Each structure stands twice: as C-alpha cells, then as structure tokens.
Structure 1
Amino acid sequence: MPHMRKAILIIVAAAVVISGLGFAAVHFGTVVVPARGGTYVEGIVGSPNYINPILCQFNQVDQDLVSLVFSGLTSTDAQGVVIPDLAERWEISPDGLRYTFHLRPDARWQDGAPVTSTDVAFTIQSIQDPGYQGPSELHNLWSSIQVDTPDAQTVVFTLPEPFAPFLEYTTQRIIPSHILATVSPQQLPTSQFNAQPVGTGPYKIAEVTAHYVTLDANPNYYGPQPHISHIRMQFYADDASLMAAEQRGEVAGLAQVLPEDMAILQKSTRLNVYSAPYAGYTMVFLNLNRPVFQDPAVRKALWEAIDRQGLIDRDLNGQGIVLNGPILPNSWAYDPNLPKITYDPKAAAAALDAAGWVDPNHEGVRSKDGVKLEFTLLTNNDDPVRTKMIDEIAQEWGAIGVRVHTQTIDMTELVRDHLYKRDYDALLYGWDLPAADPDPYPLWHSSQISDTGQNYVGYSDPTSDQLLEQARRTSDRNQRVALYSQFQQRFVDQAPAILLYQPVYTYAVDKQVKGLQITPLQTTGDRFRTVSDWYIATRRVLFTDARAKAQ
C-alpha cells in the first residue's frame, strides 16, 4: 500500500508539472506579429503630374499616389459596397434628394489642421466651377448638386432628382480649403500643391524627385496606423526598364505586370504575383449611324464570330474574363442567368444568311440592298496586343464573309478625333468604369449620344432608356437588380457593341512583404486598399498579449 500511495503521488505531481508547463507555454510563449518599420519600394512606368484628387484622373501614377495620400467622405469595400471614411455616418431623406454626412471628429489633415465641412464644400465647388481643368464628366456629375454646411462637422448634398448611384460618388477624395482657398480652379494645375500635397490618407508625401516619390506613414491618420514606415514609388520610362530594374533588385514590387512578362515573373523565387479583376472592359465600339451596323442581326453575328477566349489565352496570357453583358460579373447587379455569347462562326454565318446578308457572286464580302458588309476597324498603335487583336478579329470576320480593313493610329488621335467625335466605323478600345455602382446609363442611354455624352456608339433604344431611368430613380437594390437584369437581356438581344473581356490587373510584390489581400480593383490604386495591414518588420510578443490584441 505505501508503494501504491507513492506511485499515485508521483503521478499527481507529474500531472501538475505537465499542467504547469502547458499553462506556461500558453501564457509565456511568444509569437511573431507585425511591427512598424521597413521601406517598400515599388517600380511603376510613368511619372506624376498632379498628385491631386480632382486632377489625377488622366495619369495612373497620379491616381496611385492619390489613393495613399487622400481620402473621401466614403470609400468602397472589396464588394463595391459604400462604407464610411472621413464621414462616420450619413442619412438619406425619404424622397432620395438630401444626403446628410457627419464627419469624424478625429479626422486631421497631415499638417494637423482639422477636417471640416468647409473642406468638403470647397472640393465640390472647385469641381463645379466653370474654370475646372479636370474631367468634364466629373464636372457634369456635380454641377447640379447643392452643397450646404450647417456646421463644421455636417455636410448636406441636395440633388435635383433622385439618383440612386450618388452615394458612391461621395468617394471623391477631398482637398484642403485652408491651403487652397486662394487658388482658383484655373490656377490649380500650376499650383505647387500638386507636387507637395497635404491629404488625410494613411501616407504623406515626404520627398519628390524626378525619379521617385517617398511617402511616410501619416501619424495623424484616423484609421489603423500602417505597419510599413515608408513607401517609395520609383519611376521608369517603359516596361523594359522596369523589368530590368526588377532583375537588378532595385525594386520590391511592380505596380503592373504586362501579359508578356507573366511567364518570367511566375518563375520568380523572390516575388509573389497577384491578379484581380479590373473595373472596365475592352470592346469593339460599333458606330450605329453607319448603315452596315444598323441591323442587330449583323451586330450579334459579329459578336458570335470572335473567339474571345482564344484572344485572351493567346494575346493576354489568360489575363482577362470573357464578358456577355455591360455589367461586370463581380457586381451585385450582374445577372448570372444572362445568355452566353459563345464562339460559333457557323451560327454567325447562318444568321447573316437568314437576315439577307449574302454573297451570291462569291466576291468574299456579303451585301444587302446595295450595302456591303465592309468597314474599317481602328485601334491605338502604341498597344501591340490590340494591334495583334484587330488583325485576328479581321481574319475571323473574313471567314464569315465580312471584309475588314484594319488601321492603327496614335492613341490621342484615336480618342480625340475619332471616338469622341463619333468619326469611325468600328474601334477596339478599353473603357474604365469609374464607379463601383453598376449604373450603365452614361454609356448606353440615348440622352448621352450628344457630343458631351459617352454613348459613343449612338445606341438609341426606348426600352433600354426606360429601364435605365427607372433603375436610377429607385434606391431599392432589389428593384434595381430586376431592372438591370432586363437591361442586360435587352443588351444581348440588341448587341449595340461587341464586348470582348474584362481586364485582369496583375502586380507583383516581394515575398518579404506580408499581409496583402487580393480584391477586385475599381482603380489601380485599389491595390493599396489594405495597405495599413501590409508589413515587412516583425517582433515577438507573448502569446497572451497577441491574443488579447486580436480580441
């Protein structure tokens, strides 16, 4: 018995020791967590002109820097849902005409000045000013909206009529009135502010040179403090120079990876390659004023005759998503039951036969009522991928009896003299969608056919107009989904343009940079949406401390 008691005591003592060791492991063990510090160097093609949120729209480098330096009343999450930013909350009147925003009391400019409603009003009034030098569509959007500031923390927007997408336009980033109040909109493009801006975002400009811009973490930022202390954006003249810099180890990230470079970078042991859908589409604009494109049967046959997945695989290294309608697949308004436009040249040829477009004399081109199915397809000559694509498309259309002449010209001339002036037959080009709200009105409503509108194809369809108008007037998302579903179906039936693909944006970041999250991109700057979570430096802390902080 004494031996039995002794054995039991030994077992109990061992259990206590083991339990104590377990307790110590939990309470006194350490884990690695992100720490503040480090510098992230990203290479990008181009250089900044205006680090200013109301002038940055024409330059990707500007837009990327603005996304780090400035913020708006609201922002959008990865699903395109509007969320608070400088505004902590808002109310919308029952009639949908008044939007009241309440600013965060802790928001500060990077020079320490408080953010007030005066800054918001100043920003919008600068855009509304007739002398505004930024995009006309931004001016047109805000021109009829009244801005009131009942107190320093409150901003009220009054709309002339209900406009369901308006909330998302409050993501417009704000500029400081206390710095720019004496600068007129006409003078703003020449202001030193564009090179040495003061914003409200997670990073602030520290140094600007011809070759790079250095940003420091903003200690006045109202959101989570970034882990990475410094970001340097390094500028290169072209993609070849950027890739050479990567090979030399000059940069820790590439702002964009082109399809032709994918194979090289996917083999890299130093970089992680990230890809995400980008908000826009590449399409063939069809000038519906041309007799050859006034028959929907012709337009739909042209759509069916293009091997779009083949174009993506051959020319983009798979970096694209085939589109079947004007609302992007990652949008809440996308109709997943929309009929798919599949590559079927035999069906396309049969549809042309049925519509009376024939080639009885075997001349290689179809005709109907004296109109030949013959036209010119334009694109910009500085994009080798698009140049290759129009030749491939011309061959595919030629196989069904459509004669196509391809032509490439300078991009500025293409857009200014042909697309904007509606002086073209067919034109292959990309189009960015500036807002996460899926509202297709600007591109497809007949009121936008005028010179200042963006309905560049001249699509005029009373049924589509009615659906788009109703969807703009209601804030009920379920109603908008139903209306947009009908519009998408109508679009497929009418085929006013030939949608090819949604781009996939690809960038690369050194594997030593952790905490990145991949989300769909509304702008290229959205790759920094979670930049406060990125980290390079780490430190060890007690497990219990890390767990308490996580809770």
Structure 2
Amino acid sequence: MRNRKQRPIVGLVVLFSLILGTIFPALVMAQNATPDAGTPSAAASEPSEELVPAEAGKTELIIGQAQDVSTLDPQMSTQSNDIYVSFNIFDNLIARDRDLQLQPMLATSWTSLDDTTWEFELRDDVTFHDGTQFTAADVEFTIERTYDPEAETLVATVFSTVEDVVVVDDYTVQFKTKNPDPLLPGRLAFYGGQMMPKAYFEEIGAEEFGINPIGTGPVQFVELERDDHLTLARYDDYWGEPIAFETVTFRPIPEVAARIAALETGEVDIITRVPPDQVEQVRALETARVEQVLYNGLYVLAVNTKAEPLDDPLVKQALAYAIDRQLIVDELWSGQGTVPTGPAVPGDFAFNPDLPVLAYDPDRARELLEEAGYDGEEVIIETTDGYVVNDLPMAEAIAAMWEEVGVTVRLDVIEIAVRSEKNASKSFLGVWWSDPTNTLADPDGMMWRLLAPGGAQDYWRDEEFDALGLEARTSLDPALREANYQRMFDIFLENFPWIPILQPFESYGVANYISWYPYSNQYFNLRAENLQLVTE
C-alpha cells in the first residue's frame, strides 16, 4: 500500500583531443592557441516570439522558480534551484556557451605542458564582491576543498583526478593530475569549478558562507528571506560586461498556476519549470512566451541499492521492465521528451544510437520477481512535489505500474528541503527523483561523476564497474574508453543504480521584453551575452 503524507497519490593529450575533436573542440584550441579572453559567447538564436520594449524605468529582474534555494555554497548542492543562483554569483575558470563549447572565463588560456600537467593563465582584473583580488591562491583553495574529506562536499568526485594544485604566481596556476586527464578543462567549467574566495571563506566559515557568499560573478548577494525572496545586486566592478538590471530577485512560487499568473500579470519576468500540459497556456499569453530546450541529462529514479529488496538486481530489473515510459512521455509530458536507452544521452561519447529504448514488459517483470523470490517486501518511493517537473504525478503512475506486477509500494511525499538533507547525508530509504546532468559530453560527466566511489549517489558498488570507470577517466585511448563505457552500460542495466525514466524538454516562461535563452545543461546564465532588456 502507499503512504501519502501530503496528498493522494600536448603529447598524447593532443592526439586524444584531436581524435575526439567533435566532442572537445575548445580543448583542442586551448592546447594549440591562446583564445581571446572575455565572457563566454552564445550562438545566435531567435526568440520564440517577437520581442517588445519594456516599460520605462525597468531595473529589476524577478524570477519565479519552483523551489526556494537550499544553500548558496556552490560545492554543497547541484540542485537546479540552487545552481540557477550560484552560477551567477560565482564564475568558473572556463565556461560553456549555449552550444556547450568551452570558452575562457576567469582563465584567459590553458595549455597541456605534459601528460599530467595543465597550466592556466588567469585574468588580472578580477575582484571578489568584497573588493579583494582574485588570484591563483583562490583557485588552489577552491579545487582542494572539493575533494577534502573533512569538507564533505557534494562534488567530491569531480576533481579526484587532481594530485596537486600549484600556484606558480598570482595569475598562473598548474594542475598536476594523478594520471592523464584530457577532460580537466571541461570539469572546470561546471559543478565544483565555481571560484571561491579563500580569505573570506576562512574568515567566516562554511556555515555562514552558505547563506552569505561572495564570488566574482556579475551579481552579488544582498539578502535571503526564506520562502519569500533572494535578492542579488549588480556588481558594478564586474570584470565583464555588466548585466542589464540593477537587481535580480528569485522568488519561490511552488504552485504552477501561481507562477504562470505572476508571469501573466508582470509580477515576475521569467518562470522555471513550466509543466508540459501548461506550455500552450503560457504560449497563449500576450505578454510572454515559452523558451524550451532538450535537457542534456535524464530524469531518473535513483536507487538505494543497500536497502532490501533493492539489493537484488533481479528486483531492480523487474521494476525497470514494469514502467511504461512511452505512456509517461505521451500522457504526462504531452510528447515533450524521449525514452532513454540507458545512462547516457545522444551526443555523449560512447553513446550507441543502435541500442533499443528501455523496454516495457510487465510479464517479464513478473517473471523476474518470481525468479528473485520476491515476497512482498516494501519498495519505498520518496518523491518530491516540484523538485523536477511532474515528479509527483510520475511517482504515482510508476507506483501503480509496480503494484500492477505485484510489488508492494509505499509512496512518501517529502519536502524539497528534506530531500536536500537526505541528499547530503545519503539517507534515502528506497528510490527518489534525480535529474543528473551530463557536464562533459562524456559518461565521466554524469554516470561516473555521481555513481563513482565517493560520488553523491554512492549507494551501490560493483568491482568491475569501478575498475573500468577509473581506467576510462585516465586513458588517452578512445577505443579503450569506448569499450569500457559500453561494458559499464551493460553492468548498469544489470544492476540499475538508477532507473532512467526520460530525457525531457525543459520549458521556461519569459516575458516578451526580456531576451534570454535556457541552456541544455541547466546553466541559468544571466550574464550580458545571454540576457538583455528590450528598450526600443
């Protein structure tokens, strides 16, 4: 039965990069030339509707998002409601544009000195929001904190290839890696790579930093009033082009209807998490439009494989077979998504387009349950209502599908704040919603980043999977890496540490006097190259 708590149911590295040039073109450029310093470029794109001028005197950008922030420490959360904010307070050494190509940010150039040494030249005109200079010492501090076991960050696996960060001088830093790591520039462009202020952090401590941070980004923190608003102000000494607004306010508006109404009346300028069945309603507004992008990741049910009966691979295989994903895409997503083939998405290195999508076969599910000796043990779904779009409706549908093949299901609805706590403490009871993003166009940036030993979702271990993943992330042989990943995909589909559900289109509502575009990796970019106020 279900328990509904809230509501019803340069050497070898150069060669490697050239072979994989279609995936890492900016990495190749960085090793052979010094790119122009500046803000990340964005490919030309047209808004979905004609833009109109804003009213005179518009100085505040207001964003209505589905949840409140849980923390402003960029190393303690990768949740979308948090990174929408943190990627604008903080800059990375390198960034990705809307085409996901690497561009200079706080680093002006990067070079592979040998197979295990990368050198980065830094901008010398960057200050943190308290006016202190950004230097290589801050890079060293930031990266070393990610894998410090005492810090217990949620990005601990991102830079685990790094042996040492060496400050050459104030504006030159070297990364010494344990083995060759051709993906290092890409790692620096996303989670864990947001540059933090060493002196300020050491002065106030981790707890205070999470609610009163400073970075080098185009906006600076002003105040956070829980469940009401988060206010940011334009940083006038920003090294790049200033943003178009004096202030940026994030407002948590959990109810979809209330978010859409706020967009229609002009109370907010952008809304996140527009559900598929509401897309046409937003498109029909005279004052706003929908901007949509295919998510470069997956919506999955992550699995605590340490909990019975989820410790049995046959049970997890049965649960996977019992889900009619195409029905979910068609009915709950209005066709705005695709059924995945496994733990990778199209465009990823080693993705096999010839693989069939994950099958729906309830009879096979029943056979596997019988083979496993399943005896009615409870499977707990800990679902949120608004962490990802349609999470609760999907959980209710999946619970019914599992019950149909004979699985005993308990459906617990938990607050998003509780989910954040469970995510940090790794204390989920059964399965829960996760939206893993591929940060590298490589399985290392999604599957391995989260499921590796010590990863944020380290609830399952397989000796062969671990050995293959460690070898793949440090190998310069594309054929070996591809073979390793193909075998890892097989192991994944035998054990299901995630149960993939769909690759969705993510939709945002945007006022017609705002020019802004979403990124497929959830990089919510409010910088001048991606956000403009229409004035004429």
* TM range, smaller chain: 0.7 to 0.9
Amino acid at match of 2:512: K
The structure-2 alpha-carbon separation of the partners of 1:517 and 1:296, relative to structure 1 and needing over 3 Å to count, comes to same
Aligned to 1:520: 520
Alignment of 1:261-300 (within 5 A): 261-285=278-302, 299-300=316-317
**Equivalence for 2:168:** 150
Q: Which amino acid aligns with 1:379?
A: I
Letter in 2 for 1:78: R
SS of the residue aligned with 2:186?
A: helix
User: What does 1:302-451 align with in structure 2 at a 5 Å threshold?
Assistant: 302-345=319-362, 348=364, 353=367, 367-368=370-371, 371-372=373-374, 374-380=376-382, 382-383=384-385, 385-399=390-404, 401-410=405-414, 424=429, 426-433=430-437, 435-436=439-440, 437-439=442-444, 440-444=447-451, 447=453
Q: Which residue of 2 aligns with 1:73?
A: 93
C-alpha separation in 2, matches of 1:87 and 1:379: 43
Q: Secondary structure at the match of 1:283?
A: strand
Structure 2 CA distance for aligned equivalents of residues 444 and 181 of structure 1: 29
Aligned equivalents of 1:111, 1:441: Cα separation in 2: 36
The SS at the match of 1:372 is coil
Which piece of structure 1 moves more, 318-327 or 529-538?
529-538
CA RMSD in angstroms comes to: 4.0
Corresponding position of 1:27? none
Structure with a larger share of its residues in helix? 1
Letter in 1 for 2:507: T
1:92 maps to which residue? 112
Asked whether the equivalents of residues 38 and 537 of structure 1 are also in contact (C-alpha less than 8 Å), the reply is: no
Q: Secondary structure at the match of 2:248?
A: strand
Checking the alignment, whether the CA contact within 8 Å between 1:227 and 1:533 is kept in structure 2 is: no
What percent of counterpart residues are identical? 24
Q: Distance in 1 between matches of 2:462 and 2:306?
A: 10
1:460 aligned residue: 462
In the alignment, which residue of structure 2 is the partner of 1:256?
273
CA separation in 2, counterparts of 1:34 and 1:248? 16
Q: 1:53 aligns with which of 58, 67, 74?
A: 74
Taking structure 2 as the reference length, the TM-score comes to 0.73
Give the CA deviation at 1:112.
5.4
Q: How does 1:66-215 map to 2 (within 5 A)?
A: 66-96=86-116, 98-110=117-129, 113-127=132-146, 132=151, 135-138=153-156, 141=159, 145-171=163-189, 172-177=193-198, 180=200, 183=203, 187-190=205-208, 194-195=211-212, 197-205=213-221, 207-208=222-223, 210=225, 211-213=228-230, 215=232
Find the residue that maps to 1:228 and give its secondary structure. Answer: coil
The 1:37–1:51 alpha-carbon spacing in structure 2 relative to 1, beyond 3 Å, is farther
Q: Which amino acid aligns with 1:107?
A: V
The 2-side partners of 1:429 and 1:293 are apart by: 16
1:87 CA drift (Å): 0.7
On the 8 A contact 1:37/1:229 being kept in 2, the answer is no
- Deviation by residue 1:390-448 (Cα, 9 ceiling, x = unmatched): 4433443455x433323315357678679966775x52422434733531234555x55
Shift of 1:500: 1.0
The residue identity in structure 2 corresponding to 1:510 is: A
Cα deviation digits, residues 483-537 of structure 1 (max 9, x gap): 32343345345655431113432211111223x344312x3xx131664343224
Are the counterparts in 2 of residues 378 and 409 from structure 1 also a CA contact under 8 Å? Answer: no
**Distance (whole Å) between structure 1 residues aligned to residue 426 and residue 101 of structure 2:** 35
What is the distance in 1 between the residues matched to 2:428 and 2:73? 33
C-alpha separation in 2, matches of 1:377 and 1:501: 21
| Residues 228 and 532 in structure 1, CA contact (< 8 A), matched pair in contact too | no
Inter-CA distance 338–43: structure 2 relative to 1 (3 Å threshold): same
Query: Residue 44 of structure 1: CA displacement?
Result: 2.9
Question: Does the 8 Å CA contact 2:154/2:424 hold for their aligned counterparts?
Answer: no
In structure 1, the partner of 2:7 is: none
Letter in 1 for 2:135: T
> Residues 85, 419 of structure 1: CA spacing in aligned structure 2 closer, same or farther, 3 A cutoff?
closer
Counterpart of 2:489 in structure 1 is 488
Whose radius of gyration is greater, 1 or 2?
Answer: 1
The AA in structure 2 aligned to 1:498 is: I
Assess, with a 3 A threshold, how the Cα gap between structure 1 residues 495 and 251 changes in structure 2: closer, same or farther.
closer
| Residue pair 1:226, 1:532 contacting (<8 A) in 2 also | no
Give distance in 2, aligned partners of 1:286 and 1:533. Answer: 36
Q: What 5-or-longer segments of structure 1 have no aligned partner?
A: 1-31, 358-365, 540-551
- Equivalent residue letter for 2:244: I
- Name the CA shift for 1:482/1:84 in 2 (closer, same or farther; >3 Å): farther
Matched letter for residue 468 of structure 1: G
User: 2:531 — aligned with what?
Assistant: 534
Write the distance in 1 (CA, Å) between the matches of 2:277 and 2:52.
37
> Normalized against structure 1, the TM-score is what?
0.71
SS at match of 1:274: strand
